[in-house]
Amino acid sequence: MRIVIIGGVAGGMSAATRLRRLSEENEIIVLEKGPFVSFANCGLPYYLGGEITDWQQLVLKTPADLHQRFNLDVRINHRVTAVDLTQQKLTIKTPDGIKQLHYDRLLLSPGASPIVPRMPGVDLTQRQFVLRGIPDLKKIVTALKQNNLKKIAVIGGGAIGIEVTEALLRQGDQVSLIEAQDQILAPFDLEMTAPLTAELRKHGAKLHLASKVTRILADNTLVLENNQQVASQAIIFALGVRPDTAIFQQAGLKTAVDGSLLVDEHYQTSAENVYAVGDAILTKNQLTQQAQPFRLASPANRQGRQVADAIMGLKRKNQGNIGTSIVRVFSQAAAQTGLNEKQLKKMGRNYRCLHLRGNSHVTYFPGAAAIKLKLLFDSENGAILGAQATGQSGIARRIDVLATAIKGHLTVNDLPELELSYSPPFGLAKDPVNLAGYAAQNVLEGLSDNLQWYELAKYQAAGAYLLDVREPVEIQQNGAYPQAHNLPLDSLRDHLAELPTKRLIITACQSGQRSYLAERILRNHGFQVKNLDGGWLTYHDGMTQKLGKA
Amino acid sequence: MRIVIIGGVAGGMSAATRLRRLSEENEIIVLEKGPFVSFANCGLPYYLGGEITDWQQLVLKTPADLHQRFNLDVRINHRVTAVDLTQQKLTIKTPDGIKQLHYDRLLLSPGASPIVPRMPGVDLTQRQFVLRGIPDLKKIVTALKQNNLKKIAVIGGGAIGIEVTEALLRQGDQVSLIEAQDQILAPFDLEMTAPLTAELRKHGAKLHLASKVTRILADNTLVLENNQQVASQAIIFALGVRPDTAIFQQAGLKTAVDGSLLVDEHYQTSAENVYAVGDAILTKNQLTQQAQPFRLASPANRQGRQVADAIMGLKRKNQGNIGTSIVRVFSQAAAQTGLNEKQLKKMGRNYRCLHLRGNSHVTYFPGAAAIKLKLLFDSENGAILGAQATGQSGIARRIDVLATAIKGHLTVNDLPELELSYSPPFGLAKDPVNLAGYAAQNVLEGLSDNLQWYELAKYQAAGAYLLDVREPVEIQQNGAYPQAHNLPLDSLRDHLAELPTKRLIITACQSGQRSYLAERILRNHGFQVKNLDGGWLTYHDGMTQKLGKA
């Protein structure tokens, strides 16, 4: 039979090669609207930043390669303009004119297109760009170089916006990053973005958070909502993408409100013999059971392979996603998996949260780097709901372990049981993931109770007594909590009589660990206590980010 | 009540601090036979090698620290010489003479002692050493330095032996490593140790595998079983450890054949009010359900905490272990989790095996390092039984994910579903762990069938036709399989008529991936085919190691 695949990147190409491995008999035709197939989308910013020096490295396979090895018929610069679902026929704009093509099975992997905002002054011919493919990349590089443009505005602080910002800063450009939300990188919670925001600013980025662009002047100067002007010679829009599904909607395929194609768990669309994968579909969020887009490379590749199995009648279905991502911000890595606190709040889910400051490996071995880890879990059964981490080393590893734990339906009670690689150059006998499990278990079992950085003022207003158990010198060096009383942990037992017996005591320290010990001492002496989760590090990150000072 | 803990490292100290956090009321006495508590056992070789420059960094806590923060009564240089289980009383040799001490609860965390072999010439006063504690470390460093000893023999190629060998090589010493087995690092399978053996030799180690020392001459020259002499000025025994339980056996506690204390799942020994943790006990192997020692830092620490909970009546039990470890061999890391192939064979378990050559991150981004990954799984249900990996980067991460997968009872069918951190500097859209899952799934579902490197000769002798699908230039560069026919993959479809239809065809290539494609093409054309798992890389590693040439 003839299987036609629309879209020759990630999902489409994974499907094509798997289809060939499953059978030598089918005719497999891949139609790609652009000049390249099988290129490394995710690598584009790193070419812009000069870390990848040859753009051809981003082209993983050519049509000729794919023909020779997989007997695929790959047609580039072929744009499908209409789909006749009844006749099973495509209309295609090709370099040789309009053509028709019959299909027995049709796989849609059209991807998504960058969103270009509607506002006065937007004009993609006027040194304003998006970055989705190699042609976009070439356009940007050529324009910046030929015109010696050094003052660039990036609009949108998601992963692509951050990667592009870093890339341009690496090239010595002056970069303004404008983001409508009060934080960059939406998959992370506010306080977790503080080290990343600080890292960008350290490298010269001018960040405008909670800022909306309202129009663009003729010289590409941006005008923000507050009438502030941001001078820029060139603009890159990094406002996310929308599924590239207009012609399929026109053909009659069912889509969601956002234009995403609706598919069943075998990737079949609303039409017989028509399947879809990748950025253009919704999949089930395994943690919420709701359909949503996961526009990431890994799911697209997986779906491509799985749909090939489905088309060939193998037992395979789309199990959904939890969403895991990582982004580099100069020397910092930031990774996350599952749900964040913002989402959990919005859902009204009963969750608990903890922040932990760990290390990539034992501190007595050279090169250990700090890890800031946030863990979210169900208040009742301890199910792991999400995790976020930042730091210079060991970040992907911890988030990968936690992502695997979520997939395995582990609870926080299982985290201490994880046996992770340990020897001094590589880890810790008690890994941050183990420690997070212990801390969460303490909360679940009532040995500890915490409050979050954004709740401190509320508790204090309600009469809580804030006890900072750090050493005075640490407070001087790092900063003081508002209206805090100080009693260093190691002298706490000698001063119990000075503490209020009828008020809630909030113990606090630098990272939340010593204050937990203080909490235990005080609880064991009958005091009513909560621990300030994550200590000064988290409180300071949250407050500075909230106040726009990060 | 009075809780007495024997042993102030890892398990013992984790128990002591947790006990204090659970209650302020108990008297907690820690008796440590040596001069240090809470020291970093695992860090010793790195001080020897000069990477850790101050041995005091290895002492994590002093008795004074522990008293001040945890109100613990820590007594160093206190060696328990007798236990009266009926009277609940200890006899202790202290710096102030013999003393008696009553306990309400007793926790044994005595650890294990290095094995000193019995053979002519062994004398620990004659520049022959073991390495278990800081005093051992000081003795070695002083002796080597003062006498300018540069020619050292390390006996035993386990993790400690390898770490000590590397440490001495880093100091410019000439090191001979003698190992009775035909490979170093017993937790790994033979072929997986080849890159590590090669790395040691590259840095100047003289390896004597499958070699037994029979006696030691007066000048510390070793005499091997084959009468070969290995000149050395000093000897370090790294032959493993045995539990330090003689006095507890004498007291009447039940032990296993190897001297390990027998405990129930709440860590209680055969005596009431007496508990034990750490290197001195056996725990259940979660993959075999058999009791065995897991003498590793992580389990000891976990057990210490858990036994504190058990003593204080919290619901907590020892769930057993799978065993995860990592060792550095210069620029190579080697990590493993679960069971290895040798164990599975011995058990008669129905397992499948696959070798995969992946990368730490996408190859188009600078700095990607090769990963050699071995995955073992149940032939029937795909349960993950074990994994091993070697390489310069990303090793701990992949083994940690697989260890977590084992703990979550995931099967190989779940590995492709894992959503792991990906962006170009950090990973791959299809991580090696995902790819291993796909490959294993292919085997389980009958899309592919493989044979192992050590089976090739047997299959060929039985008439199989070996088809090498590499390019001729690769064969010249890397080496040729015996009696192989060559047809590069990309021309395979044009030469099908030349292949035998009545013989088993074994496809082979460099890593096993192209030969899998060849296998699929041939199977889809009706041939009977098996794929040589792991290709030339694995075959070559296995054969050179087997032949002693690695």
Residues A62 and A88 in one domain: yes
- Contact across the interface for B325 and A425, Cβ inside 8 Å: no
- Contact across the interface for A524 and B25, Cβ inside 8 Å: yes
Residue B545, in any domain of the structure = no
Give the distance from residue B5's alpha carbon to the nearest chain A alpha carbon, in angstroms: 20
- Which of A302, A410, A520 has the CB atom closest to B408's CB atom? A410
The reported pLDDT for the residue numbered A548 is: 77
- Contact across the interface for A422 and B325, Cβ inside 8 Å: yes
pLDDT-above-90 percentage for chain A: 98
* A-interface mutation test, from B9, B137, B420, B471, most A Cβ less than 10 A away: B420
Residues B372 and B440 in one domain: yes
Residue of B nearest to A447 (CA): B22
- Contact across the interface for A24 and B489, Cβ inside 8 Å: no
- Contact across the interface for B429 and A489, Cβ inside 8 Å: no
CA dist B10 and B298 (Å) reads 8
- Contact across the interface for A408 and B403, Cβ inside 8 Å: no
Chain A residues within an 8 Å CB radius of B525: 24
Chain A residues within an 8 Å CB radius of B167: none
For A446-471, what is each residue's pLDDT tens digit?
Answer: 999 999 999 999 999 999 999 999 99
Residues A136 and A93 in one domain: no
Q: What is the mean pLDDT of residues A133-137?
A: 94
- Which of B24, B325, B424 has the CB atom closest to A43's CB atom? B424
* A-interface mutation test, from B331, B421, B444, most A Cβ less than 10 A away: B421
Chain B residues within an 8 Å CB radius of A51: 365-366
CA dist B112 and B114 (Å) reads 7
The last residue of a domain, from among B444, B478, B495 = B444
- Contact across the interface for A163 and B423, Cβ inside 8 Å: yes
> Could you give the number of structural domains in chain A?
4
Residue of B nearest to A397 (CA): B397
* A-interface mutation test, from B404, B438, B469, most A Cβ less than 10 A away: B404
Model confidence at A530, pLDDT cuts 50, 70, 90, reads very high
- Contact across the interface for A426 and B333, Cβ inside 8 Å: yes
- Contact across the interface for A302 and B417, Cβ inside 8 Å: yes
The reported pLDDT for the residue numbered B549 is: 65
* B-interface mutation test, from A364, A412, A428, most B Cβ less than 10 A away: A364
Q: Tell me which residue range forms the domain holding B16.
A: 2-111+242-311
Q: What is the mean pLDDT of residues A541-547?
A: 93
Residue A322, in any domain of the structure = no
Chain A residues within an 8 Å CB radius of B429: 10, 42, 297-298, 300-301
- Which of A159, A408, A490 has the CB atom closest to B410's CB atom? A408
Containing H/E element for A44? helix A44-48
Containing H/E element for A337? strand A332-338
Chain B residues within an 8 Å CB radius of A495: none
The last residue of a domain, from among A403, A424, A444 = A444
Give the distance from residue A219's alpha carbon to the nearest chain B alpha carbon, in angstroms: 34
> Has residue A549 got a pLDDT over 80?
no
Residue of A nearest to B364 (CA): A57
Residues B468 and B430 in one domain: no
- Contact across the interface for B417 and A21, Cβ inside 8 Å: no
Chain B residues within an 8 Å CB radius of A319: 417
CB pairs under 8 A between A and B: 253
For A209-257, what is each residue's pLDDT tens digit?
Answer: 999 999 999 999 999 999 999 999 999 999 999 999 999 999 999 999 9
DSSP B312: T
- Which of A58, A403, A427 has the CB atom closest to B396's CB atom? A427
Q: What is the pTM of this model?
A: 0.98
Residue A324, in any domain of the structure = no
- Contact across the interface for A69 and B490, Cβ inside 8 Å: yes
The reported pLDDT for the residue numbered B547 is: 86
Query: Residue A344 in contact with residue A351, Cβ under 8 Å?
Result: yes
| Of A231, A311, A300, residue with least CA distance to A266 | A311
- Contact across the interface for B69 and A40, Cβ inside 8 Å: no
- Contact across the interface for A364 and B58, Cβ inside 8 Å: yes
Residue B176, in any domain of the structure = yes
- Which of A404, A424, A524 has the CB atom closest to B24's CB atom? A524
Q: Residue A67, SS3? A: helix
Residue, of A510 and B59, whose pLDDT is higher = A510
3-state DSSP percent of chain A in helix, strand and coil, to 5: 35, 25, 40
- Which of A46, A71, A489 has the CB atom closest to B69's CB atom? A489
> Which one-letter amino acid corresponds to residue B325?
S
Residue of B nearest to A516 (CA): B21
Give the distance from residue B223's alpha carbon to the nearest chain A alpha carbon, in angstroms: 33
Q: Write down the ipTM of this complex.
A: 0.98
Residue A246, in any domain of the structure = yes
Phi, psi of B518 (to 5 degrees): -60, -40
Residue of B nearest to A22 (CA): B520
Q: Which residues of chain B have pLDDT under 50?
A: none
- Which of B43, B396, B410 has the CB atom closest to A365's CB atom? B43
Q: What Cα–Cα distance (Å) separates residue B213 from each residue in B158, B162, B174, B403?
A: 16, 17, 18, 36
Query: Residue A362 in contact with residue A390, Cβ under 8 Å?
Result: no
* A-interface mutation test, from B36, B61, B134, B298, most A Cβ less than 10 A away: B298
Residue A235, in any domain of the structure = yes
Residue A490, in any domain of the structure = yes
Angle at A233 between CA A230 and CA A238, to 5 degrees: 75
CA dist B360 and B333 (Å) reads 12
The last residue of a domain, from among A199, A217, A239 = A239
Residues A350 and A306 in one domain: no
> Has residue A259 got a pLDDT over 60?
yes
Give the distance from residue A62's alpha carbon to the nearest chain B alpha carbon, in angstroms: 14
H helix runs in A351-508, sequence order:
395-407, 432-444, 456-461, 472-478
Phi, psi of B76 (to 5 degrees): -85, 165
Residues A495 and A411 in one domain: no
For A35-87, what is each residue's pLDDT tens digit?
Answer: 999 889 899 999 999 999 999 999 989 999 999 999 999 999 999 999 999 99
- Contact across the interface for B421 and A324, Cβ inside 8 Å: yes
Give the distance from residue B506's alpha carbon to the nearest chain A alpha carbon, in angstroms: 17
pLDDT-above-70 percentage for chain A: 100
The reported pLDDT for the residue numbered B399 is: 98
- Contact across the interface for A326 and B421, Cβ inside 8 Å: yes
Residues B7 and B107 in one domain: yes
Residues A73 and A6 in one domain: yes
CATH number of the structural domain spanning residue A291: 3.50.50.60
- In sequence order, the β-bridge partners of residue A29 are A4, A73
> Has residue A102 got a pLDDT over 70?
yes
Query: Residue B326 in contact with residue A426, Cβ under 8 Å?
Result: yes
Residues B384 and B426 in one domain: yes
Chain B residues within an 8 Å CB radius of A434: 298, 302
Structure tokens at A477: 């060096």
- Contact across the interface for B365 and A43, Cβ inside 8 Å: yes
- Contact across the interface for B43 and A424, Cβ inside 8 Å: yes
Chain A residues within an 8 Å CB radius of B419: 296, 298-299, 321-324, 337, 403, 407
Residues A205 and A140 in one domain: yes
- Contact across the interface for A408 and B405, Cβ inside 8 Å: yes
- Contact across the interface for A21 and B517, Cβ inside 8 Å: yes
Residue A343, in any domain of the structure = yes
Give residue A89's Cα distance to chain centre.
38
For A174-220, what is each residue's pLDDT tens digit?
Answer: 999 999 999 999 999 999 999 999 999 999 999 999 999 999 999 99
For residue A149, the tally of other CB atoms under 10 A from its CB is: 17
> Has residue A508 got a pLDDT over 60?
yes
Cβ-based neighbours of B74, under 8 Å, separated by 6 or more: B8, B16, B29, B30, B32, B37, B63, B66, B67
Residues A180 and A88 in one domain: no
B63-70 vs B11-22: helix crossing angle, rounded to 10 = 20
Residues B31 and B62 in one domain: yes
- Contact across the interface for A445 and B314, Cβ inside 8 Å: yes
- Contact across the interface for B408 and A425, Cβ inside 8 Å: no
CA dist A360 and A392 (Å) reads 9
